[in-house]
Amino acid sequence: MPMTQELFEQLIAQVNALDLQRGLPDKRGRFQQLRRSLHPRIQAQSLFNTVSPPKDGYAFHWGGNSELQLNVGLEDGGNLVRVGVAFSIEPMAHNLDLLQVLGPKAGRFNAWVIREPSLLEGLDHCYWQPRNQEPRRQRFPAGPIPEEALQNNRFIFMGTLLAQGEATPVRVLDHLEFWHRLYERVESGALPVEATQTTTMGLLETVHREPNPLLMERRQHRPPEGPILHGDLHRRIEHALYGELRSELDDGTAVRANELIPGCGTQVDMVAYAEGGPIFFEIKTADTLRACLREALGQILEYAHWAGTERCRRMVVVAQHPMDEKASAYLGLLQDRYQLPLDYRQVQPVEAPVAVI
């Protein structure tokens, strides 16, 4: 039986309630916490608009008109539910030219998905189509948005399809939370270090960067994964760590990947909600153990203590490198002198490509 507009509105309301529940103790839902960390003046609390119900069988996140939007909608007459992200390039009030706003964001989207292919894992439904015209969809493979799609009066969607009977609030929200990482990268305005060209507004815009001799030297000694595949390496370590923790914590302890931290507005790679308090795990894929520790320490300390809050009882840096004498002495000094509940854990990545946790 197809999902009706009334049932779709009920689904969106249930997703809203679940998002707010996951965001506790913050009064905002998890997504709006992330969004406010990027745009501090934002006042929205729920994922979707609670003032007016979704119309015409679709909904996007509150405030998403001029952003990479989290998008849910009915397709195939209500037999399918799409869940993913979208750019909706159509005229708005106040003569705002959305192409000028969304074009550069689409460029950052392209740069990041080239840099980190794992950001699009599991994607199976990508298309663009003209707005206010006969809906002739143009499909494209998971990856960068094609130039011809970046024009006014275009709707561009990237995500997956669920049978309407499988579109439960938990499953829809889980799919939407997968997109938090990519949303954060696109909306933060940052570009990957390796980015040299981004596709914006149907044109190639060159991003000029002076070559860094030290960076070039490091690239010559990178492992075979190379810069583009480091996202895959991260994902493989993440899955190996998840399997190890599930085996070790056989007492029903919850283990969650890419967990949004209330009050901090960002995500930690993995959290084990063990007895006595959460344990934060931060995964790094740099070429040396020293570089991994350097990259991880500032992040994990911020996650644990930003704004003077105690959010975890232990912090663990995770990488594939074996512990060495100098690193052991370094961590020992930090533990003794500053009383940091800090550990290192070596995890070997799984061999095969993996799906999303």
Amino acid 250: pLDDT: 65
Per-residue pLDDT tens for 308-332? 778 889 999 999 999 999 999 999 9
Predicted confidence band at 150 (pLDDT cuts at 50, 70, 90)?
confident
331 vs 290: CA distance, rounded Å: 11
Mean pLDDT (the chain) is: 80
Mean pLDDT, residues 144-167 taken together? 90
Residues ≥6 apart with Cβ < 8 Å to 94: none
Domains of the chain: 5-188 (3.30.930), 214-346 (3.40.1350)
In order, the DSSP letters of 205-237 are: EE------HHHHHHHHT--TTTTTTHHHHHHHH
Higher-pLDDT residue of 102 and 227 is 102
194 pLDDT band, cuts 50/70/90, is low
pLDDT digits (tens, 9 = 90+) for 47-56: 998 777 777 8
CA dist 18 and 221 (Å) reads 46
What's the confidence (pLDDT) of residue 158? 94
| pLDDT tier at 262, thresholds 50, 70, 90 | low
Residue 253: half-sphere exposure toward Cβ, Cα within 13 Å: 21
**Among the listed residues 100, 87, 90, the one whose alpha carbon sits nearest the alpha carbon of residue 201:** 100
The residues with which 81 forms a beta bridge, in sequence order, are 74, 162
Q: pLDDT class for 195, splitting at 50, 70, 90? A: low
- Residues 22-33: what's their mean pLDDT? 82
